[in-house]
């Protein structure tokens, strides 16, 4: 099946594209789409544990199923600042 993958910030830079049309074997999940992407772009591998994902504009977990025509976005993590840090350290 075909899905559209959206990448942002550092992930976009590492893959060299902000949007990719990918053909993946079904049945697919968010996690399998990511794994397939990492195969094509090994530089993304370090982000496997820290990304979050959205499917058709809804946050989705790695085991969420993916269907033909979905837009899957992978969102890179916070790399500075923390929601737990005292507000004085927040890099706003």
| CB of 12 vs another protein, minimal distance in Å | 8
Question: 4: which 2 tokens?
Answer: 């559209």
Q: How far is CA 72 from CA 3, 41, 58, 90, in A?
A: 7, 16, 9, 29
Cα–chain center distance at 68: 17
Could you tell me where the DSSP H helices lie in the chain?
A: 9-15, 30-40
Write the binding mask 2 to 21 for another protein: x where contact by CB under 8 A, - elsewhere: ----x-xxx-x---------
- Does position 84 interact with another protein (CB under 8 A)? The reply is yes
- Does position 63 interact with another protein (CB under 8 A)? The reply is no
Query: Nearest Cα to 71, choosing from 15, 20, 16?
Result: 20
Options 21-29, 31-39, 62-70, 76-84: segment touching another protein (CB under 8 A): 76-84
- Does position 79 interact with another protein (CB under 8 A)? The reply is yes
Footprint of another protein (CB under 8 A): 6, 8-10, 12, 50-52, 54, 57, 59, 73, 75-81, 83-84, 87, 90-92
């Amino acid at each position: 099946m075909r899905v559209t993958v959206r990448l942002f910030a550092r992930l976009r830079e590492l893959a060299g594209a902000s949007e990719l049309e990918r053909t993946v074997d079904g049945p697919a999940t968010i996690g399998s789409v990511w794994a397939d992407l990492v195969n094509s772009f090994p530089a993304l591998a370090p982000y496997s544990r820290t990304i979050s994902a959205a499917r058709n504009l809804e946050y989705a977990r790695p085991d969420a199923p993916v269907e033909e025509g979905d837009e899957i976005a992978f969102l890179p993590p916070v790399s500075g600042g923390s929601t737990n840090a005292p507000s004085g350290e927040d890099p706003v």
